[in-house]
Structure 1
Amino acid sequence: MRKILLAAGLLAVVGLLIYNFLGSSAPTPAAPADPAYAAQIRRARQQKDAAFRESPSSPLPAGQRAAFGGLRYFKPNAAYRVVARLTRAAVPAPLPLALTRGSADAYVSWGTAEFELGGRPQRLALLQKQGVGAGQELFLPFTDPTNGQQTYAGGRYLDLPLPTPDAADITLDFNTAFNPFCAYNHEYSCPKPPADNRLSVPVLAGEQLAPQ
């Protein structure tokens, strides 16, 4: 009887440890489906696939385009579309981003976005490109625990419209997260996400690893 009780107690402890582990690392659950939103995401993905296959500016090597069957994506999940509290930098500070093939691109730290994902607080730097190629948008490169497994090892990107001067928040839709071009062609040189732009929870949304 004592052995049975000890075994039962051990199983209970193991069960509790497993529960705590899974609870701490559980992905963000799926939000209620919004058919119109999901259809919009799917249309954008179809357009991108067509551009990768047909556009002269496709990052795919020319010999791979005819056989290209489309990119891999997570299913649209509205839980990964979050509204973040926006804080602008009083004076945007230079934040050069190292490139995958050496040297760096000129960016400034435009501000920060703070939000919750998977029940945990997150904070990401919002960047703005300087010099050649600068535009009226923000750049958000980030990494998360899926990198190197479900998603590209070097992290992913979001492009965001520049908020209006009176905006107090900004929408981050990780369903639109995309890989840098160097994920498809090593001839490209791509900005690396800054070390501080790492999310603590897996982002099971957006673009997955490039098809092999």
Structure 2
Amino acid sequence: MRKLLLLAGLLAVVGLLVYNFSGTSVAPPADPAYAERIRLARQQKDNAFRTAATSPIPVAQRAAFGGLRYFRPDAAYRVTAQLTRAAVLAPLPLALTGGSADAYAQWGTAAFELGGKAQKLVLLQRQGVGANPNELFVPFTDPTNGQQTYAAGRYLDVALPPADASTIELDFNTAYSPFCAYNHAYSCPKPPADNRLTVPVLAGEQQVPL
């Protein structure tokens, strides 16, 4: 019994040391049903990138394409944000990586906490040709860019919330890289300066070497 107590105490001390050195606790995993939905969506995207005519993967590389790289689904990166709608849709053109700009408007903002720090993102809506009135576009950057994730930032697509909603869900497990991350022939919108998150987002798609 004494040995068991000593072992339990040793494990507790080790756990405390790990916590102190890491500065954070282990994030809760996503629930199994949700994680499976994420897995299936990622599998479908890999298949599309491998076979679809619209794939950004260069034709000569598709046969050898082994799939995208992702972070493990993590409930800590699925946040409920406070929603503020803009009084009017103010134009906010997004510069493209290849020059010129695409027409977007600032639909509102989402305020939330991530990693214990307050964050805010501008919610955009595409204007003109190709616009989806039922979807918001959330391009963002974070400290992982150029290391674990694509250097120019990543994107979220979010369903337009109901008219009476005061919150909006941002699921960074669904964050994805623009097509120009896989093929330099594409020109992609750059995230606005206001959409810089101050904490690393270890969720969604990781960087894939070209």
- TM bucket (normalised to shorter chain) is 0.7 to 0.9
Aligned counterparts of 2:35 and 2:28: Cα–Cα separation in 1: 12
Is 1:40 the equivalent of 2:37?
yes
Is 1:59 the equivalent of 2:56?
yes
Which residue is equivalent to 1:117?
A: 114
Aligned counterparts of 2:162 and 2:126: Cα–Cα separation in 1: 18
Q: Which amino acid aligns with 2:43?
A: Q
Secondary structure (helix, strand or coil) at the match of 2:41 reads: helix
Secondary structure (helix, strand or coil) at the match of 2:65 reads: coil
Unaligned runs of 5+ in 1: 1-18
Q: Which amino acid aligns with 1:146?
A: T
Which residue is equivalent to 2:168?
A: 170
Aligned counterparts of 2:167 and 2:73: Cα–Cα separation in 1: 22
Which residue is equivalent to 1:198?
A: 196
Which residue is equivalent to 1:84?
A: 81
- C-alpha deviation, 1:210, in angstroms: 1.2
Q: Which amino acid aligns with 2:128?
A: G
Q: Which amino acid aligns with 1:190?
A: C
Which residue is equivalent to 1:5?
A: none
Does the Cα contact within 8 Å between 2:79 and 2:171 map onto a contact in 1? yes
Aligned counterparts of 1:185 and 1:29: Cα–Cα separation in 2: 36
Is 1:95 the equivalent of 2:92?
yes
- C-alpha deviation, 1:92, in angstroms: 1.4
Aligned counterparts of 1:79 and 1:96: Cα–Cα separation in 2: 31
Q: Which amino acid aligns with 1:127?
A: L
Which residue is equivalent to 2:8?
A: none
**For 2:180, which of 179, 182, 198 is the aligned residue?**
182
Aligned counterparts of 1:107 and 1:56: Cα–Cα separation in 2: 27
Q: Tell me the TM-score normalized by structure 2.
A: 0.87
Which residue is equivalent to 1:107?
A: 104
- C-alpha deviation, 1:30, in angstroms: 1.8
Aligned counterparts of 1:128 and 1:210: Cα–Cα separation in 2: 27
Alignment of 1:22-37 (within 5 A): 23=23, 29-37=26-34
Does the Cα contact within 8 Å between 2:96 and 2:102 map onto a contact in 1? yes
| Cα pair distance change 1:33/1:130, threshold 3 Å | closer
Count of aligned positions:
190
Does the Cα contact within 8 Å between 1:72 and 1:211 map onto a contact in 2? no
Does the Cα contact within 8 Å between 1:114 and 1:124 map onto a contact in 2? yes
Q: Which 4+ stretches in 1 moved above 3 angstroms?
A: none
Structure 1 vs Structure 2 CA RMSD: 1.4
Does the Cα contact within 8 Å between 1:83 and 1:171 map onto a contact in 2? yes
Which residue is equivalent to 2:206?
A: 208
Which residue is equivalent to 2:150?
A: 152
Q: Which amino acid aligns with 2:202?
A: L
- C-alpha deviation, 1:29, in angstroms: 4.3
Q: Deviations over 1:26-65 (max 9, x none)?
A: 6x84214411111110000000000000101001110010
Q: Tell me the TM-score normalized by structure 1.
A: 0.87
